[in-house]
Amino acid sequence: MSFHHLFEQHASTLNAAVEANRNRLFHAHWPEPPSGKIYGETAQEEGLQAFKAALNNAFDFPHQKGSEGTVGAEHSPFGFPLNISYPAYSADVLIANANESLKQWKKLTVTERAGILIECLERASKHFFAIGFSTMHTTGQGFIMGFQASGPHAFDRALESIATGYMALDAFASSAHWTKPMGKMQVDLKKEYHVRPKGINLTIGCSTFPIWNSFPGMFASLITGNVTIAKTHPSAILPLAICIQSFQETLASLGLDPHIIQIAIDSQEKPLTLALAEQKDIQTIDYTGSSAFGNQLEKLIAGSTKELFTEKAGVNCALIGEVNNLDAVLDNIAFSLCLYSGQMCTTTQNIYVPKSGVITPEGIISFDDICLKLKEKVDALVFNEKMGPGTLGALHSPAVKSRIEKAKASGLIIIRDSESVSQQGFDNALSCSPLILKADSAHQEIVHEEWFGPISFMIPVEDISTGIKVMADSIKQHGALTALLHLNDEGLMNQAVDQLVDAGVNISFNLVGPIWVNQSAGFSDFHGTGANPAGNASFADLSFVSRRYNIIGMRRP
């Protein structure tokens, strides 16, 4: 059975993604606004009803065989249990299903796989609104963010991985007629180069961005000929479940083994991750989450042939030194601290400010005044009834609330206290505004720990150059995904680039307006660098796909 027709059908989509990947320009295949004009006037209501229909019900995967019992205990951060039961699958069943499907999948050409995978994404995109509401009520993101992060943005990241894998596999000829002149004679060889996938991929989902963080590894694996098992986080199952149910339906309708893409669901009480990760047939593992479990995975695979791609904890930093418009700068930072209550792996935690103050066109603004003005900017957003609650969303787990209380009890001066935020229609929502504390050089142990959630620290430094060095040293030692600097002097900016590139972190300068440090754009921004302790992988550079296969040569006269 040939699938070349699907490649032809989606060739323009793939070519545009490849072109954007090469040139790093803006590209979005799926529009990000949840607009009725784009997705249909009834799409949002239908998505809401689909989400509600899933509640208090059994969620089935009719194309995935071998279930044994049920599992599921999701609870909305907005204050109610989802009461959805899912089929449970053992590690042995998942591996057996995957090995059988791998025989079929690895025989297809990269063009056939690209067409099939884009078709899977296009059909699943019809569920964007249901995915958005399910993300909202498993992670705590506001609806618009849930729609965008798990819908268009995540699907673009999947397409980016498809394009990157396609580029890598297209980099070399698959065959050659090789001739070596040797005086009066010559040697002629026919050569072929076979792509050998590593095997089965395990993608370990996270609780805050269950699709956005999972799709890159899943689709990088799939395009390179591997099959994938998506192990959902016990608190955020439904978003991935909707996607994978759709993917399996598409695969089955095309006459393909639906187990090319499987779901694995477990509970906090009976975890399945390590039992899967240690299976010899699992050859690539993608992980987003805590450093503690990431370190455990690293020890587990040590000495094996397995490839592990990680995104672990880090301490993101900012430096405010010189600004053209202080209000615009602090508005931007305030929004980034409030967005999803700081529960993003890219959100700034430590904000450095020179002791002597920040240089502005109006003169030097003192450290204390910067702290006060940032508090006022956060207040203005938090207490804006239209903007605040939706921007903040809810805390994805009580552990984040406990972390806020622990930070309050640290003994640091409170610049801005955290308080509960009401979410209209959800009286029991767990929602808190940002906590901002003052720290200094005596509090190294505190500020060099990742405080995941709406917690940040204002830290005075001797001067701008010292601030740059402190940031670079922190990143080298503790890792980071983002570094933000507000500077005007070209010499200082060059100094920052030299030190922070060496530290291995992505850098942003002078962001104002509607672009924030915690955003990462598909096809243009490499998410993570793999060059500091926050993780060893980058979405989606060439190594993110090339480590998932080997090239095996064959030659004959």
Q: What is the pLDDT confidence band of residue 109, given thresholds at 50, 70 and 90?
A: very high
Q: Each residue of 442-480: b (16+ CB within 10 Å) or e?
A: ebeeebeebbbbbbbbbbbbeebbebbebbbebbbebbb
Cβ-in-10-Å burial (0-12, 13-18, 19+) of 390 comes to middle
- The CA-atom distances, in angstroms, between 441 and each of 239, 309, 353, 389, 444 are 42, 34, 13, 34, 6
Does the structure show a pLDDT above 90 at 1? no
List of domains in the chain: 59-181+194-312+537-556 (3.40.605.10), 317-509 (3.40.309.10)
- Each residue's pLDDT tens digit, 481-531: 999 999 999 999 999 999 999 999 999 999 999 999 999 999 999 999 999
**Contact (Cβ atoms closer than 8 angstroms) between residue 212 and residue 150:** yes
Residue 442 has what pLDDT? Answer: 86
Closest-CA residue to 167 (of 376, 364, 22, 346): 22
**Contact (Cβ atoms closer than 8 angstroms) between residue 228 and residue 312:** no
Among residues of the chain, what percentage have pLDDT more than 70? 100
AA identity, residue 292: A
- Each residue's pLDDT tens digit, 322-378: 999 999 999 999 999 999 999 999 999 999 999 999 999 999 999 999 999 999 999
Residue 183 has what pLDDT? Answer: 92
DSSP string of 346-380, one letter each residue: T---EEEEETT-EEETTEEEPHHHHHHHHHHHHHH
**Contact (Cβ atoms closer than 8 angstroms) between residue 136 and residue 143:** yes
As a whole number, the mean pLDDT across the chain is 97
Place of tokens 């991985």: 161
Closest-CA residue to 483 (of 509, 515, 458): 509
**Beta strands, E only, 17-101:** 70-71, 75-76, 80-81, 86-87
Q: What is the pLDDT confidence band of residue 161, given thresholds at 50, 70 and 90?
A: very high
DSSP letter at 397 equals S
Measured between alpha carbons, how far is 67 from 263 in angstroms, rounded to an integer? 11
Measured between alpha carbons, how far is 132 from 223 in angstroms, rounded to an integer? 26
Residue 44 has what pLDDT? Answer: 97
Residue 553 has what pLDDT? Answer: 97
Sequence-distant (≥ 6) Cβ neighbours of residue 64 within 8 angstroms: 87, 89, 97, 248, 258, 259, 262, 263
Strand partners, 263: 230
Residue 450 has what pLDDT? Answer: 96
pTM, 2 dp: 0.97
Residue 2 has what pLDDT? Answer: 77
Among residues of the chain, what percentage have pLDDT more than 90? 99
Question: CA torsion angle for 467, 470, 472, 475 (degrees, to 10)?
Answer: -130
Q: What is the pLDDT confidence band of residue 266, given thresholds at 50, 70 and 90?
A: very high
**Contact (Cβ atoms closer than 8 angstroms) between residue 136 and residue 23:** no
**Contact (Cβ atoms closer than 8 angstroms) between residue 415 and residue 458:** yes
Residue 441 has what pLDDT? Answer: 82
- Each residue's pLDDT tens digit, 73-107: 999 999 999 999 999 999 999 999 999 999 999 99
Strand partners, 461: 354
Pull the structure tokens for residue 458.
């204002």
